[in-house]
Amino acid sequence: MSLFSHQHLFDFAQAIFIKMGSSETDARIASRTLLSADLRGVDSHGVARLSGYVRLWEKKRINPTPEIRIVHETPSTAVVDGDAGLGLVVAPFAMQVAIEKAEKVGTGWVSVKNSNHYGIAGYHSLKASEKDMVGISMTNASPLVSPTYSKERLLGTNPIAVAIPAGEEPPFVGDFATTPAANGKLEVLQRKGGEAPLGWIQDKDGQGTQNAHGVKEGGAWLPLGGTREHGSHKGYILGSVVDIFSAVLSGANYGPWAPPFVSYLEPASDPVGEGLGHFFGAMRVDAFRPADEFKSHMDNWIRRFRGSEPVNPEQPVVIPGDPERAMEAERMENGIPLLQPVVDDLTALGEKFGVKF
């Protein structure tokens, strides 16, 4: 584990995106989106994925010079065509459209097609909360999750983020995959040789398993809830809503047709749409009540919840967004830790493009 400054990793990512052919502006936007994952502690979605984007570009599945544009709109909605550009650039464009619509008519809702992996959901939702708006962000993803009662992988881990501004308190930022845990936690258990908790995954026959390699061996993630008795049908509903809002509303590939992020898996030969889909929302809080009133009640909400009596005095109640914000401050100050395989991968990537890591 070595530590790297945010600036160092940002400059490196930007240089690589420029080598791929991105404009300087796009490379900057993409690097900012990508690095927000490292800063907020979602290590699986940050620079560790940079060479994954490069491999997709090598396969011509990412267009470095996209013409991202609105293809359908009303005063409060739009569909954005990402033109196969980096999701890291397409998503900020689309969220900006949602924000501009909200400025005019109170709310803005944008569904996106022809995109790919957009980084972490929470980053995009924060763009709205910075402007006194509720921000909503979701995306579909490669199929890894079986609906309740199914053996097949039909849904991605389809995350949802909701950012809500407060006054003196920092914003509420919920950001979660619609599975019991993040896929990265399973990868940790695979490396350690540990067992997965029952209720996370099923094997290829649809039976609950603790084998941490179960998904790789033909099984699937269970939806949030885990078993039917514990509400997996609710996680199945959530993952489905993300899929439909992101891809059926926009004209992207949905369900099992969602294209894989990894370059060694080919997209479906019978696509039902274009690329991957996202969905963004922005709601001006003063479209409902005066902003200062809303924010002082959010402060009250946050303080009441944060101050509630904990089960264990050493583990206080957490407001969604608190841990990621603390991590961001710490990593901005002390640097971002990268595992040796990631350092080796980025070093090789740099050598390939003539960029020093």
Q: Does 190 bind a copy of itself (CB under 8 A)?
A: no
- Judged by CB under 8 A, the residue of 120, 162, 338, 342 near a copy of itself is 162
**Structure tokens of 286?**
């003063």
How many residues are given for the chain?
357
Q: Per CB under 8 A, does 284 bind a copy of itself? A: yes
Give me the residues paired with residue 145 across strands: 155, 221
Provide the minimum distance between the beta carbon of 287 and a copy of itself in the complex, in angstroms, as a whole number.
Answer: 4
Which has the closest alpha carbon to 42: 165, 164, 234, 176? 176
Dihedral sign for Cα atoms in the order 343, 345, 161, 231: negative
Please tell me the distance from the alpha carbon of residue 146 to that of residue 218, in angstroms, as a whole number: 11
36 in Cβ contact with 119 (< 8 Å): yes
List the interface residues with a copy of itself, window 308-347 (CB under 8 A): 308-312, 315-318, 320
Q: Is 305 in the site for a copy of itself (CB under 8 A)?
A: yes
- Within 6-65, the residues that bind a copy of itself by CB under 8 A are none
CB under 8 A: which stretch of 20-28, 87-95, 193-201, 345-353 binds a copy of itself? 193-201
DSSP code for 231: T
The number of C-alpha atoms within 13 Å of 342 and in the hemisphere containing its C-beta is 18
Q: Least distance to a copy of itself from the beta carbon of 264, Å? A: 25
Q: How far apart (Å, rounded) are the C-alpha atoms in residues 19 and 17?
A: 5
Q: β-strands 276-284, 133-139: how paired?
A: antiparallel
CB distance 93 to 132 below 8 Å: no
Q: Which stretch binds a copy of itself (CB under 8 A): 86-94, 179-187, 326-334, 344-352?
A: 179-187
Residues touching a copy of itself, count (CB under 8 A) = 85
Write out the binding residues for a copy of itself, residues 261-280 only, by CB under 8 A.
Answer: 272-273
- Helix 50-58 / helix 6-20 crossing angle, nearest 10 deg: 0
Binding to a copy of itself (CB under 8 A): which residues in 102-121? 105-107, 109, 111
Piece of the chain touching a copy of itself by CB under 8 A; list 44-52, 57-65, 170-178, 343-351: 170-178
Q: Which is nearer to a copy of itself, 67 or 309 (CB)?
A: 309
179 binds a copy of itself (CB under 8 A): yes
Strand partners, 162: 136, 174
- Please select the residue that binds a copy of itself; options are 22, 33, 36, 240, rule is CB under 8 A: 240
Q: Which is nearer to a copy of itself, 287 or 327 (CB)?
A: 287
Does 231 help bind a copy of itself (rule: CB under 8 A)? yes
Q: What is residue 154's three-state secondary structure?
A: coil
69 interacts with a copy of itself by CB under 8 A = no
In whole angstroms, the minimum distance from the beta carbon of 353 to a copy of itself comes to 39
Task: Please report the beta strands in 82-132, taking only residues with DSSP state E, as ranges in sequence order.
Answer: 107-115
**Span from 20-28, 51-59, 87-95, 241-249 in contact with a copy of itself (CB under 8 A):** 241-249
